[in-house]
A and B are shown apart, each in its own frame.
Chain A
Amino acid sequence: MSITRRIALATGLAVSLMGTTALAQDNVRIALVAKSLGNGFFEAAARGAEEAAEELGNVEIIYTGPTSTTAEGQIEVINSLIAQRVDAIAISANDPDAVVPALKKAMQRGITVISWDSGVAPEGREMHLAPSSDALIGQTIIKLAADQLPEGGKVAVLSATSTSTNQNTWIAEMEKVMGDYPNIELVATVYGDDLADKSYRETQGLLQSYPDLDAIIAPTSVGIVAAAQAVQDAGKVGEVNVTGLGLPSEMAGAIESGASKSFAIWNPVDLGYATAMLAYNLATDEAEAEPGAEIGMGRMGTATLDENGQAAMSEPFTYDASNIEEFKSVF
């Protein structure tokens, strides 16, 4: 057999094979790429994506990711997804820039690429879905405190370091909406530097300086845990409510002791669900990712893209005694 015939035959075979897979596959295949496998947060997101797939019917979710949180591992995963000819890739990136070339290659092959949770540089994706926005976080943390204080009261903020950009932005956004809560007085902002001992000491200082303090808002996971412990040790459970941003696994003890009545963080199940919905809508060309576009996210409403192609999903999800048991083993 001549070499040309062999190539022709092989190509024909390959084309026919591809033809059959293409025929068999009328499902939309969406790859959900995690920062790493074995992380409860991403496992929960994958459950949300499956929920979206069930709702849509003709969607197959491929949940994958590297075994450790490296950009190199994600690039390998992306290349293998390109080879599998998936319809969409939704990635939570370990590095915003390193994965761009691989994702560009995927987009050139006609694959819809979006990032979620941890974003990719704009040239490497069509859009990015952030779990929440600075404004929504700022509004949520003050609302969490105010909801427990119908009569009004004094609140203090326990932040991380005084130079922490995201903390300062959230606190500034919170201060912007303080006017909506005329009975709530912000008495102090202190800095625990994300160290357990310093946060604990600063909380003790707040309890001493403001004996009639009603709530402490800590938008940082180390701070909120330390503050809850300090309030508990000071015997002020019930008098001072600790709230803010924390993870359910870390805050379960504080909810149990009553030092914290509620706190918030994005819900990974919702995030995975919304990501899958967006990827589906973009991959099936039902929506176009362009600044100002409104794209449906099923039960999560619609995402509105800004000039950088970013959208925020929703305000952080509130956790309290009613749902902590369900989520404390998740993340």
Chain B
Amino acid sequence: MSRFVKSREAILLAAIVALIALVETRFTGFAAPGNLARVFNDTSILIILALGQTLVILTRCIDLSQASNLALTGMVTAMLNAAHPGIPVVVLIAVAVALGLLMGAFNGLLVWKLDIPPIVVTLGTLTIYRGIIFVVSGGAWVNSHEMSAAYKAFPRADILSLPVMSWICIAVIAAFAVGVNRTALGRALYAVGGNPGAAVYTGIDVGRTRFWAFVIAGGLAGLCGYLWVSRYAVAYTDVAGGFELDIVAACVIGGISISGGLGTVTGAVLGALFLGTIKNALPVAGISPFWQMAISGAAIIVAVTFNRRRAPGRVILKEAAA
């Protein structure tokens, strides 16, 4: 228990609670359960993407192409839906996930087989995937009235007074909680990021582990592609432009170490929730837009400072020098 109180997750949780309390003093009703559920629902996409990114960052890599992947799969599902309104939503979600997995696998193969630095690979695919959107759509928008009612209704449908989108997010969090902590691949991710050299000696294939991290991150980005386009009921070339930085910021705030091997699922979720709370609080708190970006940026720097000062939490394979 005392260990949890001192942990980064506890500090972050306290920061989120304090933030919500602060906003409540300026805008009554922000802390109401209904509103917090709305904030969670609004942050669902960021949480799912941040969890995918966490896997990649744990292995000392980074995936900057998530937002472009999301935008491309979103556009493809929207165009499919507009052209063939009869296709069931389940099939479209499967297409989105499959397409996302494919793009993730492309990133992963380049990193694994050609040994190109991940930041270069994904900076490249960020532009490539974004470019393909323009090629497939010709720059045209898919608008709300062209999408079928079922396509737009699915993430909004209510189950036990929470929208389906929130439930999908909760399911992904649960899968990660088990997958990262209780499976061989989950342990391998930490080992590869903690000390790639030692990981090889323990029989872990570093390249393959990174590949799977990219594949999962890609698949989740694909899933979010459908969720995003359906939620905002519009698909165009610039969907989620610049969102990759929000995802990385959520991970960094959540204590996922950019140098790999450190970080928890809880941390990533809380990091995303922290950003999501800020994003939802600023419009109602009546803060000038000129300050909004500065506040978001300051939060990231504060978080990183905390990161550097804490004792390493979970190291599976220590480096010789450490």
Contacts and interface: CB of A to CB of B under 8 A. Distances in A.
Interface string B21-52: 00000010100000100100010000000000
B289 A190 contact: yes
Nearest to B141: A250
B117 interface: no
Interface stretch (A8-16, A113-121, A196-204, A275-283): A196-204
B227 to A, nearest CB: 11
A120 to B, nearest CB: 23
The contact size tier of chain B is: 20 to 34
A252 B240 contact: no
B284 A196 contact: no
Contacts of B29: 208
Given A208-B27, A209-B27, A253-B233, A201 B279 contact: yes
A233 B29 CA distance: 19
A326 to B, nearest CB: 14
A205 B145 contact: no
B279 to A, nearest CB: 6
Interface in A159-178: 162
A201 B144 contact: no
Contacts of A254: 144
B199 interface: no
B283 A190 contact: yes
B266 interface: no
A256 B143 CA distance: 12
Interface in A197-237: 197-198, 200-202, 204-206, 208-209, 222, 225-226, 228-229, 233
Nearest to A257: B144
Given A249-B143, A253-B145, A196 B283 contact: no
B143 A225 contact: yes
Interface string B266-309: 00000000000001101110100110000000000000000000
A201 B283 contact: yes
A200 B289 contact: no
A225 B141 CA distance: 12
Interface residues of A, number: 29
A228 to B, nearest CB: 8
A201 B143 contact: no
Contacts of A228: 144
Given A191-B289, A249-B141, A229 B234 contact: yes
Contacts of B228: 197
A196 B144 contact: no
A149 B241 CA distance: 36
A280 to B, nearest CB: 33
A300 interface: no
A256 B145 contact: yes
Contacts of B282: 205
B36 to A, nearest CB: 13
A321 interface: no
A209 B286 contact: yes
Given A204-B42, A229-B234, 17 more contacts: A191-B289, A195-B242, A196-B232, A197-B232, A204-B280, A204-B283, A205-B283, A208-B284, A209-B284, A209-B286, A226-B234, A228-B144, A249-B143, A252-B145, A253-B143, A253-B146, A253-B233
Q: Which 5 A-B pairs have the closest CB atoms?
A: A205-B283, A253-B144, A253-B145, A252-B145, A196-B232
23 contacts: A162-B289, A162-B290, A190-B289, A195-B238, A195-B241, A196-B234, A196-B239, A200-B231, A200-B232, A201-B283, A204-B283, A205-B280, A205-B284, A208-B35, A208-B284, A225-B144, A229-B233, A249-B141, A250-B141, A252-B143, A253-B146, A253-B147, A328-B145
Interface of A: 162, 190-191, 195-198, 200-202, 204-206, 208-209, 222, 225-226, 228-229, 233, 249-254, 256, 328
